[in-house]
Structure 1
Amino acid sequence: MADFEDEWQESEPLAVAAPPPRTHHARVFRPNTGPSARGSRGRGSGTDFGWRERDSRDNRNTGNRNWRPVEEGNRKVMTIPSTKVGRVIGKGGSKIRDLEYESEAKIQIGDSSGYETELTLVGSESAIAKVEELINSLIEDYKPPQQESSSNSNKASGNSVTTSFYKTNEFGVQVIDWEKLNKQYDEQQKMRYDSLPPIVKDFYKEDPQVAAMSPGDVSRWRKANNDIQVKRTFDDKPGLRPIPNPVITFEQAFQHYPEILDEIYKQGFTQPSPIQSQAWPILLRGEDMIGIAQTGTGKTLAFLLPALIHIEGQTVPRDQREGPTVLILAPTRELALQIDKEVSKYSYRGITSVCLYGGGDRKEQIKVVSKGVDIVIATPGRLNDLIMARHLNIINFSYIVLDEADRMLDMGFEPQIRKSLFDVRPDKQTVMTSATWPNGVRRLAESYMKDPIQVNVGSLDLAAVHTVTQKIQFVEEDDKEAVLLEFIQNMEPTDKIIIFCGKKATATHITTDLACKGIECQSLHGDREQSDREAALADMVDGTVNILVATDVASRGIDIKDLTHVVNFDFPRHIEEYVHRVGRTGRAGKTGIALSFVTRKDWAHAKDLIKILEEANQEVPGELEQMAERFEAMKLRKEKEGGGGRGRGRGGGRGYNRY
């Protein structure tokens, strides 16, 4: 996603006759060091900066918003067709900044005659030469290959595919031969992939005790550990290896990697979590895996430690690789930063990482990537941005993780994911984590995974963590703020809470209202600057404040270990988000409380909420059951009447108002 919101507005061509064709020209200027140059920056000055040919082109007096002072240095003016200036500017100005960054020259968009526009290039001679070359390459039009007969195809190379991608259709019109073009593309891609070094993926040596587990032992262990279910996601093809048994201890998984074990011991863990026990043998063996588990179950460490071993185990030394080895995609900045923080805890063979996300310093992120890193942790928008700008080449990644894949699809990131992963090599190892298993996640798995093993921790049905007590409070919409204030005033000094709101404006309002009442709190939502969002989390973690008011950007990827309460001020729009909100507390074996305000407008979620409460052995209020019954009755009545909908929206039909 672009970092800049202002779009460059292209000048409208003047209504004059087209001039005869002319050769694009360039003029080179040296710095003007005379008195007029020193005084040329004064407002209303009659000087011409020493590089304009005519006073009428002084953009300061024409109201040209694109004009800005250009710093001293060698200058060169080149002209390009006005129709191609947009290529140089890029969306929101992103391309012109890339050109300036790569060449270390400055680019000034100048006057347009309607058909041509002047660009002033400023910098050292080498910088000007480089940026001019980049611009010429950028504006060069694609020229289709000349049509040749099949007899003139690449006989010398033994390639039977002709260089002509055109054919004459039944009407005698020349059209693109897509079948031939696609075949040529597939062959070219195969040649690219074949030229890459092979990927080493199998690093697993099964412990004798693990190998000796009987099918009954494995089944009993999986049943006792959150009823883990393991299977091949798609068809179990002949010749595939059996699914490995789970490891019970850290030593069984990493006894051949003592440095990894040392890092685990430093963190004070006593035993693997259920998903780690089953995931490590699968991933160390080089298999693709889909891990479906709720938040707080240790999914990050499940894919991270095999990734470290994968990086170090490749045939090409790290300092000789063309780019990073591991890519971890996350839906939100907060989750990406949380993963980056987790990576930093494990020091293994000097492996380095970078976190790429919108709102961060793009130039600094590019600089870190260009210097060389092993792990890239990114949000889909920023990853797509840097791939399109050619700062990253996806073909270099051999271990790819799509973390919280269902959330990325919910947020509409599927186009960016598919665009970014378009060129990914087919023999890579892929890991996908998700809390649910919707059709969109299944489509991604079919597109990017090969014979994946699916590990389900618990049921595929939505379920909240069982260490959280879920409470429902029925309130009128106008009474919610008063009820929230009463709750906060009765908090214990050691309590720490997140208050979830449905809108950014609501979060801002509550934060301001609490501050006016002398209650210290922080807020976290999409309208806040990235530095403020990070500061808000830091204040919660270190105890500076005990109250965080947030939107659903905080429902995943936020790990505040001593969080005691979650308050759903607004019930979430999707029941899946309820599960993730609740999962912010009751983590790492601790208990927590989730309090949800439910109003009349939330009756559409009553049935699903009852299922979640019952699954976690929570109390189901009778009023919630009545709400679900009335909503179902309303739907049936609407279907009989031919409406087929949910009533007339939030303000609703008669059935809604009766509740």
Structure 2
Amino acid sequence: MNAIPPPPPSDALPPPPPPLEEEIGPALVKKIVKKGWGSTRKQPPSAEDILKAKREREADAAKPKYLNKAQREKIALEKRQKEVDDARKKKEAVLNGGDSGGSNGNSSRGHNSGSLDYGPSSAIPTGPRAMRSGEIPTGPSSMRGQRNHDMPPPPIPKANDKRPGKRLAPENEEAALTRHRYMGAEQNQSTFSAKKKRRRTTEKKFNFEWNDEEDTSPDYNPIYQQRAEANFFGRGRLGGFTEEIAEMGTHKFVDAMIAADPENGRERATAILEMERRRKEEGGRAALDKHWSEKKLEHMRERDWRIFKEDFNISTKGGSIPNPMRNWGESGLPDKLLRIVEQVGYNEPSAVQRAAIPIALQARDLIGVAVTGSGKTAAFLLPLLVYISALPPLDTPNRKADGPYALILAPTRELAQQIEVEAIKFAAPLGFSTAVIVGGHSIEQQAHALSAGPEIVIATPGRLLDCIERRLCVLSQCCYVIMDEADRMIDLGFEEPVNKILEALPVGNEKPDTDDAEDPLAMSRGQYRQTMMYTATMPTAVERIARKYLRRPAIVTIGNVGEAVETVEQRVEHIQGEDKRKKRLQEILGSGDFAPPIIVFVNIKRNCDAVARDVKHMGFSAVTLHGSKTQEQREAALASLRNGQSNVLVATDLAGRGIDVPDVSLVVNFNMANNIESYTHRIGRTGRAGKSGVAITFWGNEDADVLYDLKQMLTKSSISKVPDDLRKHEAAQQKGKKKGGDSKGASILG
């Protein structure tokens, strides 16, 4: 047997290899240990096993590791403990930094021994240099060594200082300190100076004026003791002379002329004085400073007429429109008619009368748009009477059989009767007769009135069409047609009757649709039919009638279309429920703030009688007016209200248009109108003829469709206010859809 060699000495042996578990892991060791027959010797791992183990470790490292709460808390505590230890070590290094700085042989860069060193062994700086010494700085670095030095506080700013560094006078400084002590510091003090701004804006402009204080000539100089006056020759102030000098020069010139030529000089002097007087009246530049009310008609200029129309809120459209009249004397009406106007009591013409009468006297077709209660009736009656005065009288049976000369259409019976009352005031003194054709009266009586040959017929469309179809009335010589409240007639469904009535007019006297229709001379040479239409709005149906039967009409608008008059104060109150509204109505009527007559509007006929009964129970006399009443009942109700027998009128929209009850102080809308046009005409029953009035409206959530228009109406009024509940209401933020009816347009109005 071969002998076993002895082991080498320990110094010559290489170091033992690392344990297998540390190199490839204990799991792999278990796999690669081969257990033979009674042998437990470990076998070295193969390359495949080593690579496989490496891949498994990399895969395990790539997977996310999920830690529970205890593990996370442990890691956080260890991390925080490490940060505390590092901070403590850095602080100790800062306190003992001199030793580490000296070990490297580096100087402290000129600082004292307590400063940090940025050598290789020092810690990384973590804050400003002033704080690395552990002391809190209390001043500049140059003063830190002076331990007993106190920095004085900054001085108190002066309130009157304009620039930094400016010092005040001792007395001003003492006053400022006293004011600051007792009154406090002045803040937000304005430095604006109007005088400096004026001087700053005008200092670069050349000043052509010479002030007395700028005169540098000494007054004691004898040359300037007696100042000579400049003598000018001529007349007028444009050359620098006063009116007195011109007047004196004119009289001297006239006296010299008479003395030189006693025979003819006086006549020439009179002519010169008349020319001078006319020159003063015309005024030249002085006339521009006068108001239109102080000028004669021949001195009025385009600028004056523009101011005149703005004063009365008049706007016109069309060709060859004459200027308005300033008073009745300039209207062009005959003297006899002017005397009647004076007797009736029309002292000053209204705005619509000022604009419409001169146009109508030129035989022009006219569309008048005016607010309610503006005097439209007299505006079309006076030109009508002038027109038929030039026609032959209806004194023979043949002429009476051909029908009336003029026709006036009105939407309601009450308005037609009201127009008749006004027409009789002017027509009866001139010898003209009128007839009223309305429903509710005996047609036999009306046929008898037509057979008497009236010059003027006032009618509602329905009854007049009935008379025409029965051959009780003919319009063979009708040459003057007036449609009052034309939009109301369309709203009541009278479009077809109106068209049939206008088609029954003679065609031989129609105006040509040319420029001759705008020429007053051409219209005066022939007896053409003249058509006038008065309306508050222009629905599509009214516009169709105007385009078909009017020829080149002049359009006159007074105020703003669709807006209430400025003399009516509008108040609106949100009251929900009939009982609450009746209680509020009783409070209003019982307050005593409003004198009768008072009009209360409702929407339904049934409510009209119910509210009237409640008003009577409140202790007030009340009458009703609605469509179910007979004509006699309607007339009796209006007569009772006008003569003072009744205090309150409860009505539907039937009384909203054209009804003239004098001195109505209050209008109450117990129910809000269905549209803003009806609301406008309702409140127009008060504040008429320049007087003031009040309109109180109750509204609820059921009136959402008109709340936006109502808010806009109140916003436009200068004497009315929009309450918060209406302004914030959801329905008042945008315009709602209208319930039926034609859309209100204004294309023919421009």
Does residue 1:435 correspond to 2:536, yes or no?
Answer: yes
Correspondence for 1:424: 505
Number of the residue aligned with 2:435: 354
Q: CA deviation at 1:313?
A: 0.8
Please name the residue that 2:91 is paired with.
none
User: Is the contact between residue 329 and residue 378 of structure 1 (CA under 8 Å) also seen in structure 2?
Assistant: yes
Question: Quick one: which of 351, 375, 378 aligns to 1:274?
Answer: 351
- Alignment correspondent of 2:566: 466
Aligned CA RMSD, in angstroms, stands at 2.0
2:583 is aligned with 1:494: no
Aligned letter for 2:647?
N
More helix by share: 2
- Aligned equivalents of 2:670, 2:349: Cα separation in 1: 35
Picking from 364, 375, 379, the partner of 1:302 is 379
Please give the per-residue CA displacement for 1:422-467, whole angstroms capped at 9, x wherever unaligned. Answer: 122324100100111232221111011011000001123x210111
Structure 1 residues 419 and 506: alpha-carbon distance in aligned structure 2, compared to 1, 3 A threshold: same
Cα contact 2:675–2:738 (8 A) shared by 1: no
Shift of 1:627: 2.1
Are positions 1:264 and 2:341 aligned together?
yes
Note if 1:311 corresponds to 2:388: yes
Distance in 1, matches of 2:436 and 2:675, equals: 29
Does the CA-based 8 Å contact 2:420-2:434 persist in structure 1?
Answer: yes
Alpha-carbon distance between aligned partners in 1 of 2:618 and 2:721, rounded to the nearest angstrom: 34
Is 1:292 aligned to 2:378, yes or no?
A: no
Does 1:572 pair with 2:653? no
What residue in structure 2 maps to residue 623 of structure 1?
725
The one-letter code sitting in structure 2 at the alignment partner of 1:620 is V
1:334 and 1:300 map into 2 onto residues whose CA distance is 14
Alpha-carbon contact 2:707-2:732 (below 8 Å) kept: no
Q: Number of matched residues?
A: 419
Contact 1:312 1:318 in 2 (8 A): no
Distance change in 2, residues 1:209/1:439 (3 Å):
farther
Amino acid in the other structure paired with 2:564: A
Cα distance between partner residues in 2 of 1:572 and 1:625: 18
Deviations 1:616-650 (A, max 9, x none): 122011211222556649x7xxxxxxxxx799xxx
Residue matched to 2:303: 216
Q: What per-residue deviation string (whole Å, max 9, x for no partner) do you get for residues 452-502 of structure 1?
A: 000001123x21011111000110123222221222222357332100010
Partners of 1:223 and 1:410 lie apart in 2 by 32
2:418 alignment partner AA:
Q
Distance in structure 1 (CA, Å) of the matches to 2:730 and 2:298:
50
Contact 2:624/2:650 (8 A) holds in 1: yes
* Alpha-carbon offset, residue 350 of structure 1: 1.0
Aligned residue runs from structure 1 range 389-538, under 5 A: 389-425=470-506, 426=510, 427-460=528-561, 462-478=562-578, 479-492=580-593, 494-538=595-639
Matched-pair contact (CA < 8 Å) for 2:350–2:374: yes
In the alignment, the residues of structure 2 paired with residue 318 and residue 224 of structure 1 have an alpha-carbon distance, to the nearest angstrom, of 46
Please report the TM-score for the alignment, with normalisation by the length of structure 2: 0.54
Instruction: Give the one of 248, 251, 254 matched to 2:326.
Output: 248
1:522-557 deviation per Cα after TM superposition (whole angstroms, max 9, x unaligned): 111111111111111111111111100001111112
Cα distance, 1:209–1:286 mapped onto 2, change above 3 Å: farther
Q: Is the 8 A contact 1:210 1:247 kept in 2?
A: no
Within-5 A mapping of 1:549-560: 549-560=650-661
The 8 Å contact of residues 606 and 625 in structure 1, kept in 2 or not, is answered as no
Instruction: Provide the rounded CA distance (Å) in 2 between the counterparts of 1:576 and 1:431.
Output: 22
Q: Contact 1:292/1:433 (CA < 8 Å) preserved in 2? A: yes
**Matched letter for residue 471 of structure 1:** R
- SS of the counterpart of 2:552? coil
Unmatched 5+ stretches in structure 2: 1-294, 511-527, 740-750
Contact 1:409 1:440 in 2 (8 A): yes
- Whole-angstrom CA distance in 2 between matches of 1:246 and 1:646: 37
| Aligned partner (choices 433, 452, 468) of residue 387 of structure 1 | 468
| Distance (Å, rounded) in 1 between the aligned partners of 2:662 and 2:317 | 32
Give the Cα separation in 2 of the matches to 1:630 and 1:433.
31
Q: Secondary structure at the match of 1:543?
A: coil
Distance in structure 2 (CA, Å) of the matches to 1:423 and 1:480: 49
**Aligned ranges 1:2-13 → 2 under 5 Å:** none
- Structure 1 residues 611, 211: closer, same or farther in 2, change over 3 A? farther
1:340-391 deviation per Cα after TM superposition (whole angstroms, max 9, x unaligned): 1111222332101011111022110110101110111111101111111111
The aligned counterpart of 2:9 is: none
Matches within 5 A, 1:155-234: 210=297, 213-226=300-313, 228-232=314-318
- Residue 268 of structure 1 and its aligned partner are, at CA, apart by 1.8
Indicate if the aligned counterparts of 1:499 and 1:568 stay in contact, CA closer than 8 A.
yes
CA contact (8 A) 2:328 2:338 kept: yes
Counterpart CA distance in 1 for 2:576 and 2:491 is 29
> Secondary structure of 1:585's partner?
coil
Please report how far the alpha carbon of residue 210 of structure 1 lies from its aligned counterpart in structure 2 after TM superposition: 4.6
Counterpart position of 1:334: 414
Partner AA of 1:352 in structure 2:
S
CA distance in 2, matches of 1:308, 1:284: 10
Q: Deviations over 1:204-232 (max 9, x none)?
A: xxxx9656532222211111102x11112
SS in 2 for 1:394: coil
- Give the percent of matched residue pairs that are identical in Structure 1 and Structure 2: 37
Aligned to 2:265: none
Match of 1:49 in 2: none
The one-letter amino acid paired with 1:481 is K
| Cα pair distance change 1:411/1:254, threshold 3 Å | same
Q: 1:537 to 1:316 in 2, by over 3 A?
A: closer
Once the two structures are overlaid, the 10-residue window that deviates more, 547-556 or 392-401, is 392-401
1:505, CA displacement in angstroms? 0.8
Structure 1 contact 254–261 (Cα < 8 Å) conserved: no
- Which residue identity lines up with residue 622 of structure 1 in the other structure? D
Structure 1 CA distance, aligned partners of 2:570 and 2:721? 8
Q: Which of the two has greater strand per residue?
A: 1
Structure 1 spans left out of the alignment, 5+ residues: 1-207, 237-241, 636-644, 648-659
> SS of the residue aligned with 1:373?
coil
CA distance in 2 between counterparts of 1:246 and 1:539 reads 39
The TM-score, its normalising length taken from structure 1, stands at 0.61
Cα offsets for 1:244-286 (capped at 9, x unmatched):
111111111145x121111111122221111101111111110
Instruction: Name the structure 1 match of 2:405.
Output: 325
Q: Is the 8 A contact 1:211 1:245 kept in 2?
A: no
Contact 1:259 1:348 in 2 (8 A): no
Q: State the alpha-carbon separation in 2 of the partners of residues 568 and 628 from structure 1.
A: 22
Deviates more, 1:271-280 or 1:319-328: 319-328
Do the aligned residues in 2 keep the contact of 1:292 with 1:436 (CA within 8 Å)?
A: yes
Secondary structure at 1:430 match in 2: strand
